[in-house]
Structure 1
Amino acid sequence: MEKELERKLTGLPDKVTKLEGDDAILLWLKGKDAWNKWMEEHPGSSITFTDIDFSPEFIKARLASYNQLPELLEWSKSKQLISFEEYQFHGNVYFDNVKFYSDVSFEGAIFRDELIFFDSKFYSDVDFSRAVFCGSHTLFHNVEFLKDAKFVFSRFESLTDFLNVKFSTASFFSATFEGNSAFQEIEIKGKAVFTDAFFERKVDFRLRSFLGELLFNNATFEGACSISSSCDNKALLTSTRRLTFQGADFRRWLKIDGYFTCIPDMRATKTGHHVDLSGLRVMLRRGFVQEGWGVEKAIDPADSERLCRLKELAESNKDHKRALEFHAAESTARRWGDLSPLQSMLDIVYSLTSNYGQSIARPFSYLLLSIVLFAIFSIKQPECIHKDEGAFITALTVSIATVTPFISISKTEREAGIKKLYGDKTPEDYGLYSYAHAGGSFIFIFLTGLGLRNRFRI
């Protein structure tokens, strides 16, 4: 094996098209200069690392017969990390079922052809900062980053796929994606940062599990952008602490859907095309106003402003239903915070009676209930002289006529009904009760009309 490596390093015999196994490990151990020299002499050669644990113990056991191994291991150990810094890869590169137990650095590395990480695991920090991915396809499939993963100032020049990847924390700060990008079925346990990132073409994020923060502050999207949660069941929803796009620039269409336990922050964003929020479902995080009260309020005061921006986007795209839902959530978020106690009480009444103008059935049911209760109240008065079977119908007619004075027949029917019920002796304060009944019912009529208007708004 040692002679075979020396043959490859000198490049004297036949051209090498593939470097793998022990030969790949030994060449890596010789350092950046030896690696890059070999690459220059063997352009287009593919590199394969399969079933390898990048640890001194594993390498020592696997390459025990190589007489320069102790010296190479000591050199590698002295760097306190697994280093591929500024390594150049001229052909396809495959890391298949590879485990990294120490810090790993690919800082400044250049991948000139296809790069695939498959079924690999990083137990410690990994750094791809300023790495350049030039190949036709960059794929991370079934990869776990158990600690910090950095792709700061990295450049992905073609198709990029992160498929079924688990991130603890990740930073793509100022990263550039020049080809189509996909982050499919990914899990984020901590924070994933795409601040100042640049996406030249379409990007698709599909989150399987989202327990932390996803930040796109000041990012630029030249192509279409889709962000969704794989969880379509509210009962299976995981906790999302933060999803923000503050200052982002969307120059094509944007779609956000799925369930999130935070309010996406779209404040200060610039949108040049359609924004689809029809599938977005959010949950306003709440806490008790005071222990023992049983009354809740929004935990984050900024949620009302975030919801206001979502409402604005929905309205600008003629999605009235979603705009109403965001308005209702915004009003709930403002309650007990921006509003005074009296305003908060009125807001609660508005919410209970009509769900902020979204419900038709709720205020109409209250209207019917009010009419029936006032009819029962009318026939229960001691002054009532109408004891026949038609007494309730007469009282019901009086109740309906009281709340519909704008109908011409109401005045005549009300007077005739009161005369049947009480003759010439109307109960004391009956007129005052009628005013209260009419006033409350008029509010329910108005809210029913508001619900109809919102439901059939064009």
Structure 2
Amino acid sequence: KDIWNEYIDKHPDANIDFSYVDFSGRREEGEPFDFSGYKFPKKGNVDFSDANFGKGDVNFWEAEFGKGDVNFNRAIFGEKEECSDCSSVGFTGATFGEGNISFLNTQLGQNATVFFDLATFGKGRVSFKDSEVVNGDISFRAVVFGEGKVGFSNAKFGNGRVDFSNAKFGNGRVDFTSAELGHREVIFDKAEFGDQGVCFCDVDFCKTNTDTINGEVTFEEVTFGKGAVDFEHAKFGKGTVSFDKSSFGDGDVNFKDAKFDEGDVKFNDVDFGEGSVKFNDVDFGEGNVDFSGADFGEGNVNFHGANFGEGSVNFSYVQFVKGIVSFHHAKFSKGIFFGAKFGEADVSFYGAEFGEGDVDFRLCEFKGNIDFRELKDINKLSSFSLRNSIFNKSLDMSDNSFNCIPDLTNTKLTNQVSLDRMNVNPPNTYKGGDGERLCRLKEISEDNKNYQQALGFHVMEMRAKRHKLHKWDRRFDCLFDTIATYGNSITSPMIYLLCTTLSFTYIYASMSIVEHAPAHWYDWIDRFLIGFLYSLSQVLPFVSAGRNSANDSLKQLFPCETIPTEVYYFSLFQGVLSFVLLFLIGLGFRNRFRL
């Protein structure tokens, strides 16, 4: 090594060419092929393309490469020896110069661990395109990339662990398109990316992890630069995927059509920067999804068609600043937006689908228009709460049918709230607080001059509060509900009035027959018709013809005899009942045609 380094010092412009060299026969079995501490020309190029390093360890630890290009294209490293469980390929602490560095289509190891920890790359391009590690780990911890483009497209990094934690990428574009990154763990924690954008499109994370391997993917506390960040069509494995406390720059963030699996998905306290954010048509898998504390900046936010799977969805204390927020046709199982703040642009949940859980929008602030129209499968919801929220513009909840009672209590409503064609199906049993929620819905309907809807909510409110009444008050309340639906029905009291009239017709005719038996069968019919006329006169005593017909029909029912006292008792009782029922019919007409 010393002789080599001395020669390099004397010939700084020399080119080093080991291309197509087979090193496998140039070392003893069990001994590493060691370039650690070697110096390479400061200005010349270094070429190891198509070299074969054979079985065993290969070390370039703290090797120093000059300003020229470094080429390891199609080289074969570190197949493990029979006497060893695995081999290692080490570039730990290596220093690459300002030229282009290429590991194109390189086999970096088979059953080997590959280290680039603490390595430093210069200003040139760095390419690991189509490179491969078979059944081994690869580590780029704390590596420093220069200003050139960094490419890992189509790289395949085996069944092992991929670690880019604390890596620093320069201002060049970083491209991992269609790479297969680790089948055990992928770690980018505290990595820093430059300003020309990052692409993880079509990347397959943790492709073949099994039930015994969690396959976690972590991008925690990562700093993305000003460029766009693209994870479109990326596939994540069964383990947890975490972007907690990461920070995105001014560029767009794109997770369109990404697919997650069984693990939880975490974006806690993430700063999404100033660009637009796209999660449309994302499949979040079966785990919980957590965006709590995230800041979405000033760009548009799109979750159109996103499927949040079977787990809970948490957007608590999220901040949406200025951009349009769209959850069109998104699918939730449970949605928690507690304390979220939405910006001045519109927010839309049009056609969103909620599952069997709770939907929580308590303590939210909406500065723009909010759209909850035509929500799907909301008949399965346990609760839908907007309690204590602030709406600076319109709220639209039209065309929905709830089996739970939406909670709009203690909300601040500045503009009109649209509840057109919104139905709340009466529950089998009312819960505590239902009366308060229904009262608030009634108030909103009255403000909208939708009195029919307000009456419907009033009926449900009275039923919900019935349990608070005393025994007899509760019975009268039930009677009022049964006969007239709290003044909301016209048909029901009419039917009761007709039944009452016919019942008393039967009573009067029967008493007449007992006192004076008919001679012929048609006299029976005549007696009932006269009884009906008398009964009808008790229903309408305020009509002049009613008073005259009452006297005449009574004389025909009981001719030449003293009228039984019971007839007068029944007449008075019928008159009172008829008056009450007529009043309820009038109340129903008044409520039905109220302007």
| TM bucket normalised to smaller | 0.7 to 0.9
Residue in 2 aligned with 1:353? 483
How far apart, in 1, do the equivalents of 2:434 and 2:516 lie? 55
Is the Cα–Cα contact under 8 Å of residues 114 and 137 in structure 1 kept in the other structure?
Answer: yes
* Pair 1:435–1:145, CA change in 2 (3 A): farther
Q: Secondary structure at 2:397's aligned position in 1?
A: strand
Q: Is residue 240 from structure 1 mapped to residue 363 from structure 2 by the alignment?
A: no
Among 447, 453, 476, the alignment partner of 1:322 is 453
- For each residue in 1:353-382, what CA deviation from the matched residue of structure 2 results, as whole angstroms up to 9, or x when unmatched? 122222211111211121122112211111
How far apart, in 2, do the equivalents of 1:173 and 1:388 lie? 78
How far apart, in 2, do the equivalents of 1:137 and 1:196 lie? 17
Paired AA for residue 430 in structure 1: V
Q: What pairs with 1:429-440 in structure 2 (closer than 5 Å)?
A: 429-440=566-577
Residue in 2 aligned with 1:169? 312
The alpha-carbon deviation at position 419 of structure 1 amounts to 0.6
Residue in 1 aligned with 2:584? 447
Is the Cα–Cα contact under 8 Å of residues 169 and 194 in structure 2 kept in the other structure?
Answer: no
The alpha-carbon deviation at position 402 of structure 1 amounts to 0.6
Residue in 2 aligned with 1:291? none
Q: Secondary structure at 2:589's aligned position in 1?
A: helix
TM-score, with structure 2 as normaliser: 0.65
* Pair 1:447–1:41, CA change in 2 (3 A): closer
How far apart, in 1, do the equivalents of 2:413 and 2:507 lie? 58
* Pair 1:20–1:346, CA change in 2 (3 A): farther
Residue in 2 aligned with 1:408? 544
Paired AA for residue 3 in structure 1: F
Q: Is residue 182 from structure 1 mapped to residue 326 from structure 2 by the alignment?
A: yes
- For each residue in 1:68-115, what CA deviation from the matched residue of structure 2 results, as whole angstroms up to 9, or x when unmatched? xxxxx9xx98xx752343241622402415123222221233342141
The alpha-carbon deviation at position 251 of structure 1 amounts to 0.9
Q: Which of 1 and 2 has greater Rg?
A: 2
Q: Is residue 120 from structure 1 mapped to residue 259 from structure 2 by the alignment?
A: yes
Among 350, 370, 381, the alignment partner of 2:500 is 370
Q: What pairs with 1:211-290 in structure 2 (closer than 5 Å)?
A: 211-231=356-376, 238-257=379-398, 258-286=400-428
How far apart, in 2, do the equivalents of 1:36 and 1:432 lie? 102
Is the Cα–Cα contact under 8 Å of residues 200 and 234 in structure 2 kept in the other structure?
Answer: no
Paired AA for residue 135 in structure 1: G
Paired AA for residue 170 in structure 1: V
Q: What pairs with 1:377-396 in structure 2 (closer than 5 Å)?
A: 377-381=507-511, 382-384=514-516, 387=523, 389-396=525-532
- For each residue in 1:19-62, what CA deviation from the matched residue of structure 2 results, as whole angstroms up to 9, or x when unmatched? 6443899997322433476558863335134261336849xxxx
Is the Cα–Cα contact under 8 Å of residues 198 and 221 in structure 1 kept in the other structure?
Answer: yes
How far apart, in 2, do the equivalents of 1:115 and 1:28 lie? 23
Q: Quick one: higher RCO (CA 8 Å, sep 6+), 1 or 2?
A: 1
Q: Secondary structure at 2:396's aligned position in 1?
A: strand
Is the Cα–Cα contact under 8 Å of residues 193 and 223 in structure 2 kept in the other structure?
Answer: no
Residue in 2 aligned with 1:29? 163
The alpha-carbon deviation at position 285 of structure 1 amounts to 3.3
Paired AA for residue 151 in structure 1: F
Among 558, 576, 584, the alignment partner of 1:422 is 558
Paired AA for residue 204 in structure 2: I
The alpha-carbon deviation at position 191 of structure 1 amounts to 4.7
How far apart, in 2, do the equivalents of 1:120 and 1:184 lie? 18
Is the Cα–Cα contact under 8 Å of residues 24 and 47 in structure 1 kept in the other structure?
Answer: no
Paired AA for residue 176 in structure 1: Q
* Pair 1:171–1:57, CA change in 2 (3 A): closer
Is the Cα–Cα contact under 8 Å of residues 199 and 221 in structure 1 kept in the other structure?
Answer: yes
* Pair 1:279–1:35, CA change in 2 (3 A): farther
More displaced 10-residue stretch of structure 1: 359-368 or 237-246: 237-246
Residue in 1 aligned with 2:202? 50
Paired AA for residue 85 in structure 1: E
- For each residue in 1:267-322, what CA deviation from the matched residue of structure 2 results, as whole angstroms up to 9, or x when unmatched? 11000011111222223433xxxxxxxxxx42x12111111111111111111011
How far apart, in 1, do the equivalents of 2:203 and 2:528 lie? 86
Is the Cα–Cα contact under 8 Å of residues 17 and 42 in structure 1 kept in the other structure?
Answer: no
Q: Which has the higher strand share?
A: 1
Stretches of structure 2 that go unaligned for 5 or more consecutive residues are: 1-72, 74-101, 106-115, 127-147, 174-191
Q: Secondary structure at 1:131's aligned position in 2?
A: coil
More displaced 10-residue stretch of structure 1: 326-335 or 106-115: 106-115
Is the Cα–Cα contact under 8 Å of residues 116 and 139 in structure 1 kept in the other structure?
Answer: yes
Q: Is residue 338 from structure 1 mapped to residue 468 from structure 2 by the alignment?
A: yes
Residue in 2 aligned with 1:99? 236
Q: Secondary structure at 1:170's aligned position in 2?
A: strand
How far apart, in 2, do the equivalents of 1:44 and 1:408 lie? 95
More displaced 10-residue stretch of structure 1: 401-410 or 44-53: 44-53
Residue in 2 aligned with 1:305? 436
The alpha-carbon deviation at position 148 of structure 1 amounts to 2.3
How far apart, in 2, do the equivalents of 1:46 and 1:23 lie? 18
* Pair 1:279–1:145, CA change in 2 (3 A): farther
How far apart, in 1, do the equivalents of 2:416 and 2:433 lie? 25
Paired AA for residue 231 in structure 2: Y
More displaced 10-residue stretch of structure 1: 14-23 or 188-197: 14-23
Is the Cα–Cα contact under 8 Å of residues 289 and 308 in structure 2 kept in the other structure?
Answer: no
- For each residue in 1:322-361, what CA deviation from the matched residue of structure 2 results, as whole angstroms up to 9, or x when unmatched? 10010111111112x2122322222221222122222211
Paired AA for residue 255 in structure 1: D
* Pair 1:243–1:388, CA change in 2 (3 A): closer
Paired AA for residue 408 in structure 2: M
The alpha-carbon deviation at position 172 of structure 1 amounts to 1.3
Q: Which has the higher helix share?
A: 1
Identical-residue share of aligned pairs (%): 22
The alpha-carbon deviation at position 445 of structure 1 amounts to 0.9
Is the Cα–Cα contact under 8 Å of residues 24 and 48 in structure 1 kept in the other structure?
Answer: no
- For each residue in 1:182-223, what CA deviation from the matched residue of structure 2 results, as whole angstroms up to 9, or x when unmatched? 212333334523324334321112332321111111111111
RMSD in angstroms over aligned alpha carbons?
Answer: 3.3
Is the Cα–Cα contact under 8 Å of residues 202 and 234 in structure 2 kept in the other structure?
Answer: yes
The alpha-carbon deviation at position 181 of structure 1 amounts to 1.1
